Structure 1
Amino acid sequence: MNLTLIAQYATDIIALLMLLGLLTKENLLNLHSKRFFKYSIFLTIIIIIAELGSLAVDNQGSSLKPLNQMFNIVGFSLTPLIPLMLIELFSQNVLKKHKFVFIPSILNAIAVLLSPWFGWIYKINIDNQYERGSLFIIFVVVYIINILVLSHIVWLSGRKRFFPIKWKILGLSLFTIVGTCIQLILPEVISSWHVVTLALFLLFILLSVFENSFDALTGLFNRLAFEKATSTLSYKKPYTIILIDINHFKKTNDEHGHDTGDLALKEIAEVIKNSISYELNGYRIGGDEFSLILETRDEIIISDYLNTIKCGLDERRKNNKMLPTISIGYSIHNGKKSLSFQDVYREADKHMYEDKKEQKKDIKH
């Protein structure tokens, strides 16, 4: 067997073991995402070992034919499951709720298990030599279907939580499809598992950087993410900055304790998250300050969002009388005047404090 090929596969396995170590120490991903990411890595390592084993015993005498069969069964059965495991990184419990997504993989596994007799997915001839089976296309189609299902889930979840990196993850999916298809089209080019190993590493880096953009308490994007987002805003395009400030937050902390204050922050953040769509991102930019960025100047749309937030808080206040009120201000950049972001932000801040003063007047009266 080619020593260069062994070295390449060994490098992939070592890299994946290193990734497993990084993932174990990493605290940014939640436990559920970590678990399924680990499943993907373990599956990849097992499949690489199986492919390496198959290459090692292939054409090495009929006595090793059962071993060759076993290695091919493991590789062809498990490969389509990797994209399915990765789905859980983007939308938890999808596999549990929608078990039908396993149907193509199950059909593929059945075809693989029957291949030693019927030669559907692969054939091992009397000389213990591997060949592609008459229905090898089933394996290819199932694998691509599962990657497309993963891409679809990324697209859907990207409309909310993963919106900022949606296209990067979809690009990574395309890279994986193209990279693995090279070996499917040209069997002599051993590229699939190098591509998958690289893709898993890139996905880990992408998710780690992304998860570092969130505020730990509220789950909204943090100040750093806000600054990155605002740095990309163009004065040539319309956008709206909405600022939200919690009224009497210091008083809430002083009189009822910081646990009550933290709970208020979480509840208000939850209302904001439930109110926003893929067009809008929510940020915690200070202790009791939040911001929303909306890529529109349509006042009807803006008003709808603000009313949704206010109604959501009113509803929660029925069950939590200590939940503070909020003050809101916004500023619209119409994309025509060459205003800086700071100008737009200052105007929103001014309107927010005007709202705060108006609420104080209403309380006095």
Structure 2
Amino acid sequence: MLHEAMRSYYAPLLILLFFGVMVLVDKLFSRKIKRLFLLEIFLLLFLMAVTSLDQYFAALGGSGLAWRFRSITTCLNFVIGPCSPMIMVLIYDTGVSGKMSKMFYFPQLINTVLSVLSLWNGWIFSVSSSNLYKRGPLFPTSLTVGFFYLLILIIFSAKQQNKPNRRAETTFLTAAFMGIGSAVCLELFFDLNFMIWNVSSVCVVLYYLLLTTQKILYDSMTGTYSRVAYEKQMEKMNFKHPCTIAMIDLNNLKQLNDRYGHSTGDLAICRVTEAVLKLKSRHMKLYRYGGDEFVLISSRICEVEMKCVLKAAQKYCGTISELPISFSYGVAIHEKGEDIYKAIYYADETMYQNKAKIHL
């Protein structure tokens, strides 16, 4: 069985080791997220080793103390298994809010207690002195907890209404959920060994690549699309798709920075983006063009509707230190077959004209 385990886990083992190196040299994610990814890699490697040993002890039959060692490896599988999806949730939440309720860990705590107690009472599993494994009445507990954390991950993603590529992200996580679920079914009902952690390893690496893509396309401070995403969208729409474009620029940001500091200026930028994101329709996309410059694009609404949205957003910007927060904007129409950068230039010129009128 050890030879079979080595054949089954050789490729995932190499993938996880190379993946660990990628995480160590990564420059996009925070230290906390990198530590969580490294912990995820360690857990998967550990679970592969435990599963291999479990199969080895099972093959020894009733000889010696094999059944006792098998009881320990089986218990470790049930205890640690749900930790992998739990860490994936922690990675996602760290990138979004960085906070998690203590109740989040409660299902895993229950699973750990029940799994350890099963060494004596057989609630989840039992291994007899003749080395026969048997499922207990609470056998689905560990699987249920693991799928519970995967479901939380999907819900977290789906709730990020204004996040770039939210649908693609949620679709991927749902596919990962189904992939791991199919691996569980293959092991449980068709006695195919070493499936779960193989599939989980691939999902974790793809999950990392997904978050990396999101990090590039998403501006974490404002919640808008990034400049990279903007340039990709321009390439896609130029000469091909008509749209309405608005250039947005904050008013008096330099005075705010000079008087109250750059943290206050960043807060003002976020207030403006929050106001626009709150009122824009789902057909509109907001990109961070520069420091305090943004581009709002829609292929569904006209110039008048775009101006109505931006005018309404002005009322939601609020104040900072009793100073009103506002922005100037210019709107232009891009027609199919035309150079979109001409429309952007016109919107930019209109925006600066409107800004100049404010300072008169």
TM normalised by structure 2 equals 0.80
| 8 Å contact kept, 1:268–1:313 | no
- CA deviations 1:241-273 (Å, max 9, x no partner) are 321135688xx59x969x978974674255315
Q: For residue 297 of structure 1, give the secondary structure of its aligned residue in structure 2.
A: coil
Could you tell me which residue of structure 1 aligns to residue 73 of structure 2? 71
Does residue 163 of the first structure (1) align with residue 166 of the second (2)?
A: yes
Partners of 2:224 and 2:119 lie apart in 1 by 53
Could you tell me which residue of structure 2 aligns to residue 357 of structure 1? 353
| 8 Å contact kept, 1:180–1:193 | no
Q: For residue 126 of structure 1, give the secondary structure of its aligned residue in structure 2.
A: coil
Q: For residue 146 of structure 2, give the secondary structure of its aligned residue in structure 1.
A: helix
Q: What is the one-letter code of the residue matched to 1:276?
A: L
Q: For residue 282 of structure 1, give the secondary structure of its aligned residue in structure 2.
A: strand
Q: Relative to 1, partners in 2 of residues 1:287 and 1:346: Cα closer, same or farther, differing over 3 Å?
A: farther
Counterpart pick for 2:130 among 116, 127, 132: 127
Does residue 110 of the first structure (1) align with residue 106 of the second (2)?
A: no
Structure 2: which 5+ runs fail to align?
none
Could you tell me which residue of structure 2 aligns to residue 35 of structure 1? 35
Q: What is the one-letter code of the residue matched to 2:91?
A: L
Q: For residue 27 of structure 2, give the secondary structure of its aligned residue in structure 1.
A: coil
1:270-289 to 2 correspondences below 5 Å: 271-273=272-274, 275-276=276-277, 279=282, 280-286=284-290, 289=293
- CA deviations 1:103-145 (Å, max 9, x no partner) are 3322222221122223222221222233333332223322222
1:9-28 to 2 correspondences below 5 Å: 9-28=9-28
Q: What is the one-letter code of the residue matched to 1:133?
A: G
Partners of 1:184 and 1:332 lie apart in 2 by 58
| 8 Å contact kept, 1:108–1:138 | yes
> Quick one: percent identity of the two aligned structures?
21
Partners of 1:235 and 1:109 lie apart in 2 by 59
| 8 Å contact kept, 1:329–1:355 | yes
Partners of 1:8 and 1:263 lie apart in 2 by 55
1:229-240 to 2 correspondences below 5 Å: 229-232=233-236, 240=244
Partners of 1:79 and 1:6 lie apart in 2 by 20
Partners of 1:158 and 1:33 lie apart in 2 by 22
Q: For residue 58 of structure 1, give the secondary structure of its aligned residue in structure 2.
A: helix
Q: Relative to 1, partners in 2 of residues 1:154 and 1:24: Cα closer, same or farther, differing over 3 Å?
A: same
| 8 Å contact kept, 1:329–1:349 | no
Structure 1: which 5+ runs fail to align?
none
| 8 Å contact kept, 2:50–2:73 | yes
| 8 Å contact kept, 1:327–1:355 | yes
| 8 Å contact kept, 1:245–1:290 | yes
Partners of 2:68 and 2:137 lie apart in 1 by 20
Counterpart pick for 2:190 among 186, 189, 198: 186
Partners of 1:297 and 1:9 lie apart in 2 by 53
| 8 Å contact kept, 1:284–1:291 | yes
Shift in Å at residue 236 of structure 1? Answer: 9.8
Q: Relative to 1, partners in 2 of residues 1:71 and 1:98: Cα closer, same or farther, differing over 3 Å?
A: same
Q: What is the one-letter code of the residue matched to 1:127?
A: S
Q: What is the one-letter code of the residue matched to 1:129?
A: L
Partners of 1:88 and 1:199 lie apart in 2 by 16
Could you tell me which residue of structure 2 aligns to residue 150 of structure 1? 153
1:256-267 to 2 correspondences below 5 Å: 264=265, 267=268
Q: What is the one-letter code of the residue matched to 1:111?
A: L
Partners of 1:349 and 1:21 lie apart in 2 by 44
Could you tell me which residue of structure 1 aligns to residue 227 of structure 2? 223
Q: What is the one-letter code of the residue matched to 2:114?
A: A
Shift in Å at residue 298 of structure 1? Answer: 7.0
| 8 Å contact kept, 2:89–2:149 | no
1:255-334 to 2 correspondences below 5 Å: 264=265, 267-269=268-270, 271-273=272-274, 275-276=276-277, 279=282, 280-286=284-290, 289-294=293-298, 296-297=300-301, 302-303=306-307, 305-307=309-311, 309-311=313-315, 313=317, 315-316=319-320, 318=322, 326-331=327-332
| 8 Å contact kept, 1:179–1:195 | yes
Partners of 2:79 and 2:309 lie apart in 1 by 48
Q: For residue 212 of structure 1, give the secondary structure of its aligned residue in structure 2.
A: helix
Partners of 1:289 and 1:216 lie apart in 2 by 15
Shift in Å at residue 315 of structure 1? Answer: 1.4
| 8 Å contact kept, 1:243–1:329 | yes
| 8 Å contact kept, 1:327–1:353 | no
TM normalised by structure 1 equals 0.79
Partners of 1:118 and 1:269 lie apart in 2 by 56
Partners of 1:230 and 1:350 lie apart in 2 by 15
- CA deviations 1:279-329 (Å, max 9, x no partner) are 35432334653212346417787456424653455513735x9x8x64312
| 8 Å contact kept, 2:147–2:177 | no
Q: Tell me how many residue pairs correspond in the alignment.
A: 352
Q: For residue 292 of structure 1, give the secondary structure of its aligned residue in structure 2.
A: strand
